[in-house]
Amino acid sequence: MSDRPARKINHKPLGAEEVESSFLLSSSELRHLAINNGYKTWQPSIRSTGLRSSELTHRTLGQGPSSRIAEQYLLASRLARGDVRVQVSTRPYFSDEGLRTVSLIGQEDAHPDDVIPLPIPRTIDAGLGETIMGRRSRRSFESEAISLQQLTDIIGHSLAETGRARVELSSGDEVQFPLYAAANGGGLRPLDAYVLPLRVEGLCPVVHRYDKRRHALIRTPNAADATKIVDTCISPPDQEHMSRSSVVFILAGRPWRSMRKYGARGLRFLFVEAGHIAALMELAASALNLGAVECGSLCDDEVHDLLGIDGLFETYIHSVIVGRNIS
């Protein structure tokens, strides 16, 4: 094919119309377009840059060795066929001793004065399809309290036990495992939920931990002021929404409870469980005509200090805000 005289080419990515008409261009023009559509702007060396934005990190991936922790984690947590480590690490959990130990997870002591029993959750009478299709992230709240029963209903449909499974051991004995609406890898339940009631009838605004076995709230040892969760938020709009909400749920994980069995992949399971629980909370709130939104703008270490956890063996994972919708 003979080349026609060169004409000015617009240096921008091809859109649908341009792709459709590209066969009208000469071979040299097509080569010119290919080069320019693969064009990448020059960037300074990331190793000589003090403030490294996420965009800069992405643009300089080809510059040589650099700290790419997220990508390294994706590689480290891959499952490969025939990985002997998986068999060696998981086998003990299926022994009688392992099954007994896992069945006891969550049976922690608490001072009776710190235990606040919750009402029995009601079954929310709402159509599943309608609730799913109607779910929205609601951020504008009335600064009004929700009832203790409404709080319990949300907990009951996202965090509470939904049944028991009986497992017979090789010795002939039997152990019971609690069942939950949210799936968790290996039944290890590495997530705890902290309940921060800002405006809940009958509850003081202090930090509580939800006890799945007792279906109760446990005041944390430091009994920190729950309203201080607002100060951990770095986004002014989110801070405003949170300050007007009724309750904040903080999901905190114990990674090694899962990673001891599944290795780095266990951390993936923890994140999946957190997302599952958060989605159930939002659906339950929506079915109760309450607003809910997930929040990712809290400063981790400040949350750790507020909850009284170390940030390593137990660490902040996610948060959900619930309140009364502005009518």
Predicted confidence (pLDDT) per residue in 165-185, tens digit:
999 999 999 999 999 999 999
Check residue 9 and give its pLDDT.
45
Do 119 and 33 lie in one domain? The reply is no
Return d(Cα 239, Cα 241) in angstroms, integer. Answer: 6
Q: Clarify whether residues 80 and 54 are in a common domain.
A: no
Domain check: are 109 and 42 in the same one? Answer: no
Same structural domain for residues 55 and 81?
no
Give the single-character DSSP code of 197. Answer: E
> Token pair of 245, please?
């909400």
Q: Both 37 and 85 in a single domain?
A: no
Q: Collect the ranges in the chain with pLDDT lower than 50.
A: 1-2, 6-11, 19-20, 22-23
Do 124 and 41 belong to one domain?
A: no
Give residue 22's pLDDT: 46
Give the DSSP H or E segment for 165: strand 161-168
- 65 belongs to a structural domain: no
Residue 220 in domain: yes
Residue among 82, 217, 74 at smallest CA distance from 159: 217
Residue 256 belongs to a domain? yes
Does a structural domain hold residue 69? no
Indicate if 84 and 130 belong to the same structural domain: yes
* Residues paired with residue 316 on neighbouring β-strands, in sequence order: 252
Query: For residue 70, is it within any domain?
Result: no
Do 110 and 53 share a structural domain?
A: no
Among residues 271, 272, 257, the alpha carbon closest in space to that of 187 is found at: 257
Which of 28, 59, 90 terminates a domain? The answer is 59
Tally of domains in the chain: 2
71 located within any domain:
no
Q: Are residues 40 and 182 in the same domain?
A: no
Q: Find out whether 244 and 189 touch, Cβ atoms under 8 Å.
A: no
Angle between helices 255-262 and 265-287 (to 10 degrees): 130
Alpha-carbon distance of 22 to 4, in angstroms, equals: 14
**Residue 208 and residue 151 in one domain:** yes
Residues 19 and 50 in one domain: yes
Number of neighbouring beta carbons within 10 Å of residue 199 = 19
What per-residue confidence (pLDDT) applies to 1? 47
Report pLDDT for 108. Answer: 80
Other C-beta atoms closer than 10 Å to the C-beta of 62 total 8
Query: Does the residue 262 lie in any domain?
Result: yes
Give the integer Cα–Cα distance in Å for 29 and 35. 10
Q: Are residues 25 and 154 in the same domain?
A: no
pLDDT of residue 82: 87
Confidence (pLDDT) at 114? 92
CA proximity to 317, closest of 249, 257, 261, 266: 249
Q: Per-residue pLDDT tens for 121-160?
A: 999 989 999 999 989 988 889 999 999 999 999 999 999 9
CATH of the domain at 198: 3.40.109.10
Task: Yes or no: say if 242 and 233 are a contact pair by the CB < 8 Å rule.
Answer: yes
Domain limits for position 149: 76-323
CB 202 within 8 A of CB 191: no
Boundary-marking domain end, from 34, 59, 84: 59
> What does the pLDDT read at residue 2?
47
Q: Is residue 235 part of a domain?
A: yes
- Which of 13, 32, 59 is at the close of a domain? 59
